A and B are shown apart, each in its own frame.
Chain A
Amino acid sequence: MVGFLQACLDGLLIGALYALIGMGLALIFGVMRIVNFAHGAFLMVGMYASWLLFDRFNLNPYLGFIPAGLLLFALGFLVYKALIQPIRERSDFMQILMTTGIALILVDTAQLSFGADYHQTNIELVNRSLHFGPFVMNAASAVSFAIAAVFIIGLQLFVVRTRTGQALRAIAQNRDVAPLMGVNVTRIQGLSFALGLAYAGIAGGLLLPALYLFPSVGEDYTLKAFVIVVLGGMGSIEGAAMGGLVLGVTENVTSLYLGNQWALAVDFLLFLLVLSLKPSGIFGRQRA
Chain B
Amino acid sequence: MRFRSFVAFLAVLSMLAVVPAAHAADGNTVKIGVITSLTGSQAAFGEAHKNGYMIALDEINAKGGVLGKKVELDFYDDQSKPDQAVQGVSKLVDQDHVAMLLGSYSSENTKAIINPVTTHQIPLLIPTATADNVMDSKSPWVFRICAGAAAYAKTWIDFLKKNGDPKTMVIVYEKTNFGQANMQAMKAAATAAGIRVLATEEYEAKAPDYKAVLRRVKDKNPEVIYFCSYLLDATTLMRQSQEVDLNPRYYTAAGTGFSAAEFPTAKGAGKNAEYTLSVSQWLPEAPWPHAKEFDAEYFKRTNTHPQYHAMQAYQSLMTAVQAIANAKSLEAAKIRDALKNIDLKTSAFGPVKFDANDQNQHPVLITQIQGGKYRVVFPADVADAKPIIPAPKWSDRH
Q: Please choose the segment from B4-12, B204-212, B307-315, B330-338 that sits at the chain A interface, where 4 or more of its residues have CB less than 8 A away.
A: B204-212
- Let me know if A122 and B208 touch, CB within 8 A: no
Report Cα–Cα, A10/B213, bound state, in Å: 12
Report Cα–Cα, A6/B215, bound state, in Å: 10
- Let me know if B202 and A259 touch, CB within 8 A: yes
- Let me know if A256 and B232 touch, CB within 8 A: no
> Nearest residue in A to B242 (C-beta to C-beta)?
A127
Q: Does B244 contact A (CB under 8 A)?
A: yes
Q: Please choose the segment from A75-83, A163-171, A210-218, A278-286 that sits at the chain B interface, where 4 or more of its residues have CB less than 8 A away.
A: A210-218
> A263 and B204 in contact (CB under 8 A), knowing A122-B270, A127-B239, A255-B212?
yes
- Let me know if A214 and B40 touch, CB within 8 A: yes
- Let me know if B211 and A10 touch, CB within 8 A: yes
Q: Please choose the segment from A30-38, A57-65, A112-120, A187-195 that sits at the chain B interface, where 4 or more of its residues have CB less than 8 A away.
A: A112-120
Report chain A residues within 8 Å CB of B44. Answer: 117-118
Report Cα–Cα, A263/B266, bound state, in Å: 30
Report Cα–Cα, A251/B243, bound state, in Å: 19
Report Cα–Cα, A15/B205, bound state, in Å: 19
- Let me know if A260 and B210 touch, CB within 8 A: yes
Interface string of B95-106 (1 = CB under 8 A from A): 000000000000
Q: Does A246 contact B (CB under 8 A)?
A: no
- Let me know if B39 and A215 touch, CB within 8 A: yes
> Nearest residue in A to B37 (C-beta to C-beta)?
A116
Residues of A179-217 at the interface with B, using a CB-CB cut-off of 8 Å, are 207, 210-212, 214-217
Residue from A7, A111, A116, A120 within 8 A of B267 (CB atoms): A120
Q: Does B120 contact A (CB under 8 A)?
A: no
- Let me know if A261 and B216 touch, CB within 8 A: no
Chain B interface residue number, banded: 35 or more
> Nearest residue in B to A128 (C-beta to C-beta)?
B243
Report chain B residues within 8 Å CB of A259. Answer: 201-203, 213, 216
Report Cα–Cα, A119/B39, bound state, in Å: 13
Interface string of A232-258 (1 = CB under 8 A from B): 000000000000000000011111100
The number of chain A residues with a CB under 8 A from chain B is 37
> A129 and B243 in contact (CB under 8 A), knowing A116-B43, A252-B212?
yes
- Let me know if B243 and A122 touch, CB within 8 A: no
Residues of A73-130 at the interface with B, using a CB-CB cut-off of 8 Å, are 111, 115-118, 120, 122, 126-127, 129
Residue from B38, B212, B232, B236 within 8 A of A7 (CB atoms): B212
- Let me know if A261 and B203 touch, CB within 8 A: yes
Instruction: Classify the interface of chain A: helix, strand, loop or mixed.
Output: helix
Q: Does B41 contact A (CB under 8 A)?
A: yes
Residue from B201, B267, B272 within 8 A of A260 (CB atoms): B201
Report chain B residues within 8 Å CB of A264. Answer: 204
Report chain B residues within 8 Å CB of A7. Answer: 212, 215
- Let me know if B216 and A256 touch, CB within 8 A: yes
Q: Does A14 contact B (CB under 8 A)?
A: yes
Report Cα–Cα, A105/B120, bound state, in Å: 34
| Smallest CB separation, A260 vs chain B (Å) | 4
Report chain B residues within 8 Å CB of A251. Answer: 209
Report chain A residues within 8 Å CB of B91. Answer: none
Q: Does B223 contact A (CB under 8 A)?
A: no
> A207 and B215 in contact (CB under 8 A), knowing A136-B243, A212-B232?
no
Q: Does B74 contact A (CB under 8 A)?
A: no
- Let me know if A136 and B203 touch, CB within 8 A: no
Q: Does B107 contact A (CB under 8 A)?
A: no
Q: Which of B46, B209, B219, B235 has its CB near the most chain A CB atoms (within 10 A)?
A: B209
Interface string of B73-117 (1 = CB under 8 A from A): 000000000000000000000000000000000000000000000
Report Cα–Cα, A126/B203, bound state, in Å: 21
Interface string of A1-44 (1 = CB under 8 A from B): 00100110010001000000000000000000000000000000
Residue from A3, A127, A220 within 8 A of B215 (CB atoms): A3
Q: Does A173 contact B (CB under 8 A)?
A: no
Residue from B41, B213, B239 within 8 A of A214 (CB atoms): B41
Q: Does B196 contact A (CB under 8 A)?
A: no
Report chain B residues within 8 Å CB of A156. Answer: none
Report Cα–Cα, A256/B242, bound state, in Å: 17
Residues of B341-387 at the interface with A, using a CB-CB cut-off of 8 Å, are none
Report Cα–Cα, A115/B235, bound state, in Å: 20
**Can you name 26 A-B pairs with beta carbons within 8 Å?**
A3-B215, A7-B215, A10-B212, A14-B208, A115-B43, A117-B44, A120-B268, A122-B270, A126-B239, A127-B242, A127-B270, A136-B243, A136-B245, A210-B208, A212-B236, A216-B40, A217-B206, A251-B209, A254-B212, A255-B212, A255-B213, A256-B212, A259-B202, A260-B202, A260-B207, A264-B204
Q: Which 9 A-B pairs have the closest CB atoms?
A: A116-B39, A255-B212, A116-B43, A260-B203, A261-B202, A256-B212, A211-B208, A260-B213, A212-B232
